[in-house]
Amino acid sequence: MKWFKPRAGSRSLAVLTPVSGGVAALRVQDDGEKVHVLAYSRRDNTAPRTAVTAEMLNQVAADVGIRSTPLLALLDQDAYQTMMVEAPSVPDDELKSAIRWKVKDLLSFHIDDAVLDHLPVPGGSGGRQAGLFVVAAQAVAVRALAEPYHAADLPLEVIDIRESAQHNLASRIAPTDYAIAILHFDGENGLLTFSFGPNLVLSRRIEGRGATGEALHDRVAMETQRSVDFFERQYSWFPLAKLYLAPQAESMGMLRRLHEYLPISVDVYDLAKVFDFSAPAVAAIQWEKVEVQNSLFHLLGASLRRAASLVEKTVEKAVGAAG
């Protein structure tokens, strides 16, 4: 399945995706210098835990003017796992089965219920082993995500993940020949990604529930430090330049703690350097608020993805593989 893999070409996608409590959509235009946010809409569920419906998707798609635009949706983070494995030394036609064998005991669900995809991670000089960044999704979750789009007759073409969204954001600001890390934290859960050029190298999830204030900052900073140490040991051929923290409430407190723990420089990711939020249609969204930027961070990152004209729709391939 090729449902989150980057593709050559330059056909833009609009984001229309389930979010916590509802559905959101984002339409952007990239002029090569700035990414202009042209439209945004969100509609909340009428009751807690209401499933996303074709009607909701159609309403939000109409709000943003993307009913006929190729669409991208983000898979819920509880529906998949990511892992790094050594690249098997097998012929290309045996790679898929070799990956399944490598990851089957690493999953929290049965391998027969998984849909797999992978990205290559280059090895270093001196024969250092190349790796694979593997994503394993629950097939039932892939089908459940795609079904209301099909029912709404909406052209969902890509199912993506938050790790890829953060990687897209890293790619816009990373210095040449250096890796960077991005940490997104929403107050309870963190996602840390490491990117080098076109390569998404490593990701880690950080659990923050049950802690508050300085204890929370300590926990996140300590787990981030462990991940940075691991990255620098295991991928020393990717020199790590900096860590960027996604905008969040109490950014300064988290930044201070990260500065204390980490051997690299740390800064807040400035979305205004990448995105233009001045379009009249989105002026009321209050993009300057860090809470808004934090909640929309992955939608903005996902909107940076571009896809070639597809011979096989990735979602059809994904659902077929899942079935």
Q: In this structure, is residue 235 part of a structural domain?
A: yes
DSSP label of 149: H
What's the whole-number average pLDDT of the chain?
88
What is the model's pLDDT at position 172? 94
Residue 262's φ and ψ, nearest 5 degrees, are -100, 150
Q: In this structure, is residue 3 part of a structural domain?
A: no
Number of structural domains (the chain) is 1
- Reported as a pLDDT band with limits 50, 70 and 90, residue 213 is confident
- Reported as a pLDDT band with limits 50, 70 and 90, residue 36 is very high
Which DSSP helix (H) or strand (E) runs through 180? strand 179-185
For the question of whether the overall pTM of this predicted structure is more than 0.85, the answer is yes
What is the model's pLDDT at position 128? 67
- Reported as a pLDDT band with limits 50, 70 and 90, residue 307 is low
What is the model's pLDDT at position 125? 62
What is the model's pLDDT at position 256? 93
- The mean pLDDT value for 210-236 works out to 91
What is the model's pLDDT at position 264? 95
Angle, in degrees to the nearest 10, between helices 139-151 and 54-64: 60
Q: In this structure, is residue 162 part of a structural domain?
A: yes
Q: Residue 217 and residue 194: Cα distance in Å, rounded?
A: 20
- HSE-CB for 202 with a 13 A CA cutoff: 21
Q: In this structure, is residue 260 part of a structural domain?
A: yes
Judge contact between 5 and 63, C-beta under 8 A: no
What is the model's pLDDT at position 312? 35
- Reported as a pLDDT band with limits 50, 70 and 90, residue 262 is very high
pLDDT in tens, 46-63: 776 678 999 999 999 999
DSSP label of 271: G
Report the amino acid identity of residue 92: D
pLDDT in tens, 79-89: 999 999 998 88
- Reported as a pLDDT band with limits 50, 70 and 90, residue 126 is low
Residues spanned by the domain of 201: 11-322
Q: In this structure, is residue 271 part of a structural domain?
A: yes
Domain of 148, CATH number, reads 3.30.420.380
Q: In this structure, is residue 1 part of a structural domain?
A: no
Q: Which residues of 7-24 are buried (b: 16+ CB within 10 A; e: fewer)?
A: eeeeebbbbbbbbeeebb
Residue 275's φ and ψ, nearest 5 degrees, are -110, 145
Percent of the chain whose predicted confidence (pLDDT) is above 90: 67
- Reported as a pLDDT band with limits 50, 70 and 90, residue 136 is very high
Q: In this structure, is residue 308 part of a structural domain?
A: yes
What is the model's pLDDT at position 308? 41
Report the amino acid identity of residue 226: R
- Which of 2-6, 54-58, 141-145, 301-305 has the weakest average pLDDT? 2-6
Tokens 């064998």: give the residue: 101
Report the amino acid identity of residue 145: L
Q: In this structure, is residue 4 part of a structural domain?
A: no
Question: Left (φ > 0), alpha (ψ -120 to 50) or beta: where does 187 sit?
Answer: left
Task: State yes or no: pLDDT of 287 exceeds 60.
Answer: yes
